[in-house]
Structure 1
Amino acid sequence: MLYIISIVILLIILFYSLKKKNTFKTKILQNVIIPNHWHQLLSKNVLFYKKLSVKEQKLFCKKMFYFLQEKNIVAVHFELKELDTLLIAASAVIPIFRFDNFNYFNLQTVLIYPDYFDEDLQFDKSLKHRNIGGLVGTGRFENQMILSKKALYHGFSNKTDKNNTAIHEFIHLIDKADGVIDGIPTAILEKQYIIPWLQLMRNKMEAINNDDSDIRNYGGTSEIEFLAVAGEYFFERPKLLKRKHPELFKMLEACFMK
């Protein structure tokens, strides 16, 4: 009996601590003062933000502010500029903008490198095979993300492609929120959609690997990468995705547009 009472007490404490945390977050979002120049920078560089209503833009900025308060952004071998941090925060907010309380609890630090890097995380220009623009860390880099500054800026400067490295990596973190990166984002996808998602994903991957799709080839390498690549497409070129892949668009809408 005492054991049951102890469990109940612990559950009550956990409930109120989580409630208090969410209330604190809501308070931050309500009371924060956003620098006026953010609007100009985001309107110029982030198409997703530019398309939002004025009310939504204010909420977007508040969520960015909260992200920047909670996470560390560290530049490696270069001086960090404000736009660097804003683009990283925007990349984090875009996939979860429609969610009230989603927090990247599995991320503490974003390391931003000046250039693309190799598998050993080296970015010296004399090295070959520097083709990685971003990754979600494991092992000693657990709870860290590594991004290339060049890849970060390319993702927002090219408004006609379907690629955005930073958004891609944050989608991996969303996928990982249930404890494993497997291409099935159960943290945001309702149970009734899981089997249809698996079937659709495999069909689309087969089309990619048969060179019969405009979804980039990297999406055909694994379920993990398909989710992130398709997510990039969804946020970068939503109208094109809806026209060319209506079923996939609807499924991703069910994931990200709650």
Structure 2
Amino acid sequence: MKILSIIFVLVFIGSLLIIIFSRSVILLDYLYLFIFKKPAFVHFLWRKPRELSSLDKQFLNHNFPFYKRLPQKKKKVFEHRIISFIADKEFQGRDGIIITEEMKLWVAATAIMLTFGMRNYKLPMLEIVLIYPDIYLSTVTKKYHKGEYNPYMRALVFSWKDFQQGYNIHNDNLNLGIHEFIHLIQINSYKKGDISAVIFTDTSKEIIRLLADETIRENLLKADYFRAYAFTNRVEFLAVLVEYFIESPTIFKEKFPAFYFKIREMLNYNFIGY
């Protein structure tokens, strides 16, 4: 009985120490966030990263300048995240389209590019990726769409023709994949309470407050820089800003540095730096 009592006490003390350690780590994490406005760590891997095939790496180097500019160590993180993301989601074709591995790679790489500065990247508010060959009739709005996020199905929907067109031209600030993923990330951040979600949500609110300033809004409209669709509503404004941030960061930074630095803070990386 004495031995059992000692074991019980040791297990109790061990469990208590684990709880105290976990709470301390969380507290320090939020303290770091308060001081530096970013997570204490992002790309830590608990196990050996999974690597893509040489053909997949070649595809990323050719189609994703973001990936190409990463140092080798970061590329391994990017690849590991892509593999994990694809394994976590269901991909379905509609109207006769057949899902290929290249399609999965395109979609996953877009998601990982946008969440690369975040610790949690799998976006649990997304379960299904639906791909149509062209514009489709939305079951939600009963209108024709190029893409949308359906929160009830936890589904991201794309016209593949328009998704690819977004990458065919790299500097027109129009990218369907980036645009729709930002809508998803925004909703995901509202629903989740991790460090990256807090940063994304708080910074996006700061961006909207900037937009609400009459002088700033007037300057935005006079500059005629952002396409008109950006001013549809605050949700669209945020998504359009990220398209500009990704596709023409240098010009964006020169014209509207306040918005540029807020997007950089929100995504937690400097796109120009990569």
- Bucket of the pairwise TM-score, normalised by the shorter protein: 0.7 to 0.9
Matched residue pairs, number?
226
Q: What is aligned with 1:3?
A: none
* Change in 2 beyond 3 A, CA 1:143/1:205: farther
% identity of equivalent residues = 27
What are the equivalent positions in structure 2 for 1:143-182 lying under 5 Å apart?
143-179=154-190
Match for residue 73 of structure 2 among 36, 47, 55:
55
* Change in 2 beyond 3 A, CA 1:257/1:179: closer
Following superposition, the deviation at residue 172 of structure 1 comes to 0.9
Are 1:200 and 2:217 counterparts?
A: no
Residue identity opposite 1:133 in structure 2: K
Match for residue 214 of structure 1 among 205, 225, 250:
225
Q: What is aligned with 1:5?
A: none
Following superposition, the deviation at residue 211 of structure 1 comes to 5.5
Whole-Å separation in 2 of the counterparts to 1:118 and 1:213: 32
Match for residue 108 of structure 1 among 108, 127, 139:
127
The answer (yes or no) to whether the contact 1:78–1:114 under 8 Å persists in 2 is yes
* Structure with bigger gyration radius: 2
The answer (yes or no) to whether the contact 1:178–1:186 under 8 Å persists in 2 is yes
Whole-Å separation in 1 of the counterparts to 2:217 and 2:132: 31
Are 1:90 and 2:100 counterparts?
A: no
Are 1:254 and 2:265 counterparts?
A: yes
3-state SS in 1 of match to 2:199: coil
Whole-Å separation in 2 of the counterparts to 1:195 and 1:70: 29
* Change in 2 beyond 3 A, CA 1:149/1:121: farther
Whole-Å separation in 2 of the counterparts to 1:198 and 1:41: 36
* Change in 2 beyond 3 A, CA 1:233/1:78: same
Higher relative contact order (CA 8 A, sep 6+): 2
Deviations 1:146-181 (A, max 9, x none): 01101211111111211211111111111112447x
* Change in 2 beyond 3 A, CA 1:44/1:223: same
3-state SS in 1 of match to 2:131: strand
The answer (yes or no) to whether the contact 2:189–2:200 under 8 Å persists in 1 is no
Whole-Å separation in 2 of the counterparts to 1:195 and 1:144: 25
* Change in 2 beyond 3 A, CA 1:111/1:211: farther
3-state SS in 1 of match to 2:226: coil
* Change in 2 beyond 3 A, CA 1:219/1:194: closer
- The two structures have a TM-score, normalised by structure 2, of 0.72
Q: What is aligned with 1:73?
A: 91
5+ residue gaps, structure 1: 1-8, 20-24, 123-128
Following superposition, the deviation at residue 240 of structure 1 comes to 1.6
**Higher mean displacement: 223-232 or 71-80:** 71-80
Whole-Å separation in 2 of the counterparts to 1:244 and 1:151: 28
Deviations 1:200-244 (A, max 9, x none): 223565555x46331111110101111111111111211121111
3-state SS in 2 of match to 1:110: strand
Q: What is aligned with 1:137?
A: 150
Deviations 1:120-139 (A, max 9, x none): 589xxxxxx74x22100044
